Structure 1
Amino acid sequence: MLLIDYFDKGAEVFPGRSLVHDGERGWSYAEMKRLTHRIANGLIRQDLQVGAPVATYSPNHPLSVACQYGIIRAGLVWVPINARNSVHDNIEVMKLLGVQCLFFHSAIKAEIDRIRAAVPTLRHCICMDEENLQGPGLEQWMTDGPTDEPYFARSPQDVVSMPTTSGTTGKPKGVMLTNENWEAMVATYQIVMRHEGPPVHIVAAPLTHAAGYLCATLLSVGGTNVILPHPDPGLILEAIDRHKGSALFLPPTVIYSMLSHPKVGDFDYSSLRFFLYGGAPMSVQKLREAMQRFGPVMAQTYGQTEAPMTATLLTPRDHVEALESPELSKRLQSAGREGPLVRTRIMDDDGRLLPTGERGEVVCRGSVVMKGYYNNPQATAEVSTNGWHRTGDIGMTDKDGFVYIVDRKKDMIISGGFNVYPTEVEQILWTHPSVQDCAVIGAPDDKWGEAVTAIVELKAGVTATEAELIALCKERIGSVKAPKRVEFWAALPRSAVGKVLKREIRRKFWEGRERAI
């Protein structure tokens, strides 16, 4: 099946059921299908070639879902732009991918002139939630257009979405995901989740990432997606109770905030059936606390943009068995076993698959693995060995097939579920007149999983404060990427040729822990 087939199947079987809900009003499957027809036909009138990249740039909003599927229905490639990234970073993504049309939320309106000027391929900008805002709004743009369903001959191998990742380089790469990739994700979660009835998905994490993937997996079974504007712990707790939420995805840092929220005991969570977490390891202590609070519903996913959400899964049953059996408790530290439609193994640097218990790079293959990086065959080749996709993570398997992620092959930090690239932070710190040298690493943190931590060597005879350097980074690259703490060292450890030894710095923070991630 094609991705749009799952949408249409849900609309045929559950036309009156809400597909999306903003907390106050819902949009039925039938309404959303008509809306995607109008959006698709509007795009077709712009003479965009089949396969052209079209972006959505919005915080979580029901209309961003309509635009996503309207883009796909028109035979175009959906480019999800993360509204939490800096405008500069998002412009670079749009330039790289040659975005031709942009659906934006009014929260972005102040930046539209800057975006238009910076992205030479951009032909159209449409505000999805307001009219007459530096161009036509969505409703005006769709006026007088046909409402019938457009048809394009599409295949499972056609690219339908192109999220971006920077991997370990800090430079964005477009990840080409096909209908077949999406089908593998949808099928995996329909196997694992085993819905008792049409699910209610509380969407609090960004729709551009895992929460959007989970949304897609629920379409053909009539799932309702209750969309929250941002991951506020109190709002999430209330929404689960109010809307009888049964499915949810969040990074661990948000779950920790929910558990410590003063009103966590005020709501009923008995409707929950599948509480998925991922993006970073979760503290075992907090995981036990979450299971006690929310029930036997926790599930972990491990993957990456190039192989989304299905490389391994630690199911609710796995969690329960590990919690109840002392000899199985270590499994709570694992990322689970390979998904039903993927093979996941451990490989050495020479391309040899390793036996149980030996550490190496986690690799996977299957229908979920991307088609490749957009216009970057060299980068595509670098992550492929003998048909296996290299994740860049170091792990090992136990005798029962559980995969343990123990380190990261490169220096990328995952903090609160977001990728942070040390070189980007270091470049900002080096602009401060008092900084002689610096190294940015991920240090263990109960809330963030990894906290962005800067080790700074100052120039002789000058000073700088932690608050000063953090403020500089927040101003330049935003709060997600800014260091959570700064330490001042007299000298950074260096090799004989003067290279800063980050592994030695990391060791000081991670010493005594079973894993360094």
Structure 2
Amino acid sequence: MRMIDFFDRGARIAASRPCLVTDAGTRTYAEVAERSRAIANMLVADGFAPGAHAAVLSGNAPVAFEAILGILRADGVWAMANHRAGVAENAYLFDLLDIDTVFIAQEVGDRVPALREQCPRIRRIIALDGPIDGCDFFLEDKANDASPVPQRRDGLDDELAFLANTGGTTGRSKGVMLSNGNWQALVSSLVASMPMKVPPVNCVAAPMTHAAGPLALASMALGGTVVVLPKFEPEAVLRAIETHRVTYMFLPPTAIYMMLDHPGVESFDLSSLEYISYAGAPMALERLKQAIRVFGPVMNASFGQTEAPMCVTAMPPHEHLNADGELAHPGSCGRPNLLSIVEIMDDAGNILGPGERGEIVVRGPLVMQGYYNNPEATAEVSAFGWHHTGDVGVRDEDGWFYVVDRKKDMIISGGFNVYPAEVEDALLAHPDIAQCAVIGVPHDKWGEEVAAFVEMHSGRDLDAEAVGTFVRDRLGPVKTPKSISRVDALPRTNAGKISRAELRKPFWEGQGKTI
């Protein structure tokens, strides 16, 4: 099955059901299917080749989803792209991925000249939501033939379906090749780990250019309604849950914290929720308990990455709590999903036993085909016949996995390994601290020392000595930050994750290394 076949399944079983919903209106599955056919026919008529790569440069919007479906229906390859990234980063990505066609929103329409200049392989740029100077044409002017679109590729499991990118958190972005078979594994794993009691109503508030977009497309296979919010705002999300009876959504922990901190969170009717899926970073245990109390037993943990998307492991709501109502597996990201084999491996390629720390490695149909035009990086990440995630983890006797930290973020201080995530968990347990990041900074004697940067809750001041004592009581002196600094806002990547790399830069300049 092709990616578009999953949408068509939803359209067949739910033609009259709302597919895409915004404050401005609703489009049914039948209407979205018609729009996707019109966009596909427009592309084919303009010479768009089977297997050509196309990107949609837009924020969260129904027309952006329709353009993606049109690309897939024209038997193209959808390349995920983040409109919040700078023009230079987008140009680098488009050139890296051999992008043939770009749909672009008016919000970022001023980038057209730079893309023309820096990406000579782009054959057409199509204005998405209104006329834009320099574009080849405006979508609405040509997308008018909604007749059936002939299939032009075989649709085999190993056929390239979409291209993602690694985000560049550990260097320049790499293109991740994901096939029809990868998409089948993703949808199957999601449905197996989160069975829906009713047709899902999925709220897209996190950027659709990351996990929230593919998850919304996956929900369409079930005939689910997708409520599209232009951006994440805590009150808007809470109101959408109440108004549209949202059953499922994906949010990173930072967004969940912002919802929990909203003064009116408990005044909204959130009883429709079945799942809030969180991933991308560990969730502080006290905050997880708070989320279960406020939202109900709906929290769904998962672990994955671009190269093995989103659901390598899962811990569904009913496995979060034990019979006494306490966290049953505190800090766990779950057990392997239906179609993934997961192990812990040492640097020599040996599989480790319960309780032993090593790198989390994965096998199965969820794992990517490789990095686009980068066989060296593909070989490196596939050593010993397993996909290497770059995450340090451990599993217990019952098969529950725990992510300790990113392998490259580990701090070595005086010969001791310190994992930033562990220290961050201790800091976040302090009632005055809202967000934090921990890094290693140069030290003449110890090599590195632990430094923390914190955002405080509104109206709270930082008492660094008291916070240091708070952490020392939990972790001991080696892991306790030697400096704790208050910041107004921690640096973040385009995906919204806290960027330890940005925090490290000023400390490691001139050192000849960054860790």
User: Normalising by structure 1, what TM-score?
Assistant: 0.81
Given the superposition, is the C-alpha separation of residues 86 and 451 from structure 1 closer, same or farther in structure 2, using an over 3 Å criterion? farther
State the Cα distance separating 1:480 from its structure 2 match. 7.1
Of 410, 431, 437, which aligns to 1:451? 437
Deviations 1:55-85 (A, max 9, x none): 0010001111111111111111101111222
Structure 2 distance, partners of 1:377, 1:409, is: 22
SS at match of 1:189: helix
Which residue matches 1:22?
22
How do residues 362-373 of structure 1 correspond to structure 2 at under 5 angstroms? Answer: 362-373=360-371
Which residue matches 2:223?
222
Which residue matches 2:157?
156
Which residue matches 2:285?
284
Structure 2 distance, partners of 1:212, 1:138, is: 21
Deviations 1:38-60 (A, max 9, x none): 11111112223321110001000
Structure 2 distance, partners of 1:208, 1:242, is: 25
1:234 paired with 2:222, answer no
Conserved? CA contact 2:21–2:227, under 8 Å: yes
**Structure 2 unpaired stretches of 5+:** 412-419, 444-486
Given the superposition, is the C-alpha separation of residues 267 and 488 from structure 1 closer, same or farther in structure 2, using an over 3 Å criterion? same
How do residues 245-394 of structure 1 correspond to structure 2 at under 5 angstroms? Answer: 245-321=246-322, 324-325=325-326, 329=327, 331-394=329-392
Which residue matches 1:109?
109
Structure 2 distance, partners of 1:479, 1:194, is: 28
Given the superposition, is the C-alpha separation of residues 256 and 38 from structure 1 closer, same or farther in structure 2, using an over 3 Å criterion? same
Structure 2 distance, partners of 1:480, 1:387, is: 30
Conserved? CA contact 1:161–1:176, under 8 Å: yes
Structure 1 distance, partners of 2:78, 2:18, is: 23
Given the superposition, is the C-alpha separation of residues 294 and 265 from structure 1 closer, same or farther in structure 2, using an over 3 Å criterion? same
SS at match of 1:367: coil
Structure 2 distance, partners of 1:13, 1:390, is: 39
Structure 1 distance, partners of 2:407, 2:133, is: 46
Given the superposition, is the C-alpha separation of residues 479 and 214 from structure 1 closer, same or farther in structure 2, using an over 3 Å criterion? closer
Deviations 1:326-353 (A, max 9, x none): xxx3612111111111111101111111
Which residue matches 2:446?
none
Which residue matches 1:171?
172
SS at match of 1:344: strand
Which residue matches 1:94?
94
Matched to 1:390, the amino acid is H
Matched to 1:303, the amino acid is G
Which residue matches 1:82?
82
Given the superposition, is the C-alpha separation of residues 24 and 320 from structure 1 closer, same or farther in structure 2, using an over 3 Å criterion? farther
SS at match of 1:271: coil
Higher mean Cα deviation, 132-141 or 373-382? 132-141
Structure 2 distance, partners of 1:293, 1:476, is: 28
Conserved? CA contact 1:190–1:217, under 8 Å: no
SS at match of 2:389: strand
Conserved? CA contact 2:34–2:146, under 8 Å: no
Which residue matches 1:54?
54
1:42 paired with 2:28, answer no
Conserved? CA contact 1:21–1:227, under 8 Å: yes
SS at match of 1:116: helix
Structure 1 distance, partners of 2:256, 2:248, is: 14
State the Cα distance separating 1:16 from its structure 2 match. 0.6
Structure 1 distance, partners of 2:172, 2:377, is: 11
Structure 1 distance, partners of 2:339, 2:256, is: 28
Deviations 1:113-137 (A, max 9, x none): 1222111111111111113643321
State the Cα distance separating 1:106 from its structure 2 match. 1.0
Conserved? CA contact 2:319–2:328, under 8 Å: no
Conserved? CA contact 2:87–2:114, under 8 Å: no
Deviations 1:170-210 (A, max 9, x none): 11111000111111111111112211111110110111211
Conserved? CA contact 2:74–2:149, under 8 Å: no
Which residue matches 1:508?
none
Matched to 1:33, the amino acid is A
Conserved? CA contact 1:77–1:159, under 8 Å: yes
**Structure 1 unpaired stretches of 5+:** 414-440, 458-469, 503-517
1:209 paired with 2:236, answer no
State the Cα distance separating 1:411 from its structure 2 match. 3.5
Which residue matches 2:67?
67
Which residue matches 2:403?
405
Given the superposition, is the C-alpha separation of residues 237 and 40 from structure 1 closer, same or farther in structure 2, using an over 3 Å criterion? same
Structure 2 distance, partners of 1:273, 1:478, is: 25
Structure 1 distance, partners of 2:197, 2:320, is: 20
Conserved? CA contact 1:452–1:485, under 8 Å: no
Matched to 2:118, the amino acid is A
Conserved? CA contact 2:278–2:302, under 8 Å: yes
State the Cα distance separating 1:221 from its structure 2 match. 1.5
Given the superposition, is the C-alpha separation of residues 351 and 165 from structure 1 closer, same or farther in structure 2, using an over 3 Å criterion? same
Conserved? CA contact 2:409–2:439, under 8 Å: no
Structure 2 distance, partners of 1:164, 1:404, is: 25
User: Normalising by structure 2, what TM-score?
Assistant: 0.82
Deviations 1:228-253 (A, max 9, x none): 01111111011100110000100000
Matched to 1:71, the amino acid is I
Structure 1 distance, partners of 2:354, 2:300, is: 24
How do residues 434-449 of structure 1 correspond to structure 2 at under 5 angstroms? Answer: 444=424, 446=428
Structure 2 distance, partners of 1:127, 1:42, is: 13
Conserved? CA contact 1:452–1:481, under 8 Å: no
Which residue matches 1:461?
none
Conserved? CA contact 1:204–1:227, under 8 Å: yes
Given the superposition, is the C-alpha separation of residues 226 and 487 from structure 1 closer, same or farther in structure 2, using an over 3 Å criterion? closer
Deviations 1:468-510 (A, max 9, x none): xx99x98999997778997999x8799xxx65573xxxxxxxx
Structure 2 distance, partners of 1:207, 1:350, is: 38
Matched to 1:36, the amino acid is S
Q: CA RMSD in A?
A: 3.1
Structure 1 distance, partners of 2:14, 2:508, is: 61
